[in-house]
Structures are given as C-alpha cells and as structure tokens.
A and B are shown apart, each in its own frame.
Chain A
C-alpha cells in the first residue's frame, strides 16, 4: 500500500470548514484513498473513500487532485464532536488489511 503523509495536528473553529490534507505521491493506479477517524477511546470510523473523482457523503467531501498525488478531506461545518484523529490510507478497493499511519489530530475549538 502507498504511504501517506499528513500533518500531525490541526485546529479549526467550530462551525467552520475543516480541510485536512493528505499526500500520497506514490499511490498506485488501483489504490483508493480512504479516510477514517478515531474519536478518543473508540474504534476507527469510516468516513469516505474515492479513486479519482471527488466524492461527497453525509459526513464529508473528498477532493482528489488530478494527478492523484494528494487529497483533501473537507468537513463542511465542523462541530466539537468532530475532534478526533483522522487517518488517510491508500489501499486497493476492498482491502481488508489497512496500514494506519499517525494521522492528523484535529481539534475543533468553540
């Protein structure tokens, strides 16, 4: 699986959009970009994934650059409950063995 690089931590004000970047310059053509988050003392929660087109669901939007070397997860209106560690993972679709990096610790401030 391709390695991903994320900032260690980020802060965002409540109600604003939180934009979390991820670099995956060595991603393979058949690897998707997956985003999970882990709220303190809970298991990871799936957020969204995509291959090359931008994706949106009820939780977030995923913007993938045309060269697929980077992507951004967007939480449109962050709430305090969005405070968590966010993991960006590159893996083939249906991959069952995910390799987690250190992720980005996102803190939403009131």
Chain B
C-alpha cells in the first residue's frame, strides 16, 4: 500500500492566489522529504529538499519565496505555491524514504491548474 500520501490530488486556483499541497508519510517518520515538479510530457525535476525542523534546500532556479516549504513534523511537509500564475500549472510530486537505504517512495502527485 501507499506509504506517502498527497493532498489534494487536483486543485484549480485563480491567478494571484496561493495553494498549499500536503505530503504525509504514513506510519513512518521522514526527517527528509522531496518535492518534484513535472510539466506535461516532461520528466520529473527536483525542486527542493524538505528538512524537518530546518529550512528547505532549493535546487538551482527554484524560487524559495514562491515555493514555500514547511516541514513542521516528522510526518508532514507542505508546499505552498504563492501568488500562483498559469505557468505554475504543473504536476507536483513529493517523496520520502521509509527506511534508511530503502528506495524512495512517491506520493500520487497533485495536479495544479492556475487559471
């Protein structure tokens, strides 16, 4: 069964508003979670590493003030897309490791559409 859960699975918002996406690890604690973005017909691109209790680490080219990450507990990381624009429309996916040296598990993604 799924070990990483994302919510919501789909969201539509108006340009200029903010959207929060949740990523939860089920039945395990994840000190680190990862956020990916996937545009249509493209591969996944790592956006940032979410660290419990500390600041997220962003990949080059990803605006930290636009994509706010909060990892307030060992089972929850949130990604907030602030002042969303149509070009932010994408598939956002989180991942986490259940056990050290075990493969990454991914959530089922959140389809964001900004109108």
Contacts and interface: CB of A to CB of B under 8 A. Distances in A.
Interface of A: 34, 36, 38, 41-46, 49, 87, 93-94, 96-103
A102 B105 contact: no
Contacts of B105: 46
A93 B99 CA distance: 12
B67 interface: no
A11 to B, nearest CB: 18
B49 to A, nearest CB: 7
B46 A41 contact: no
9 contacts: A42-B108, A43-B95, A45-B106, A46-B103, A46-B105, A94-B102, A96-B49, A97-B34, A98-B104
Contacts of B100: 94
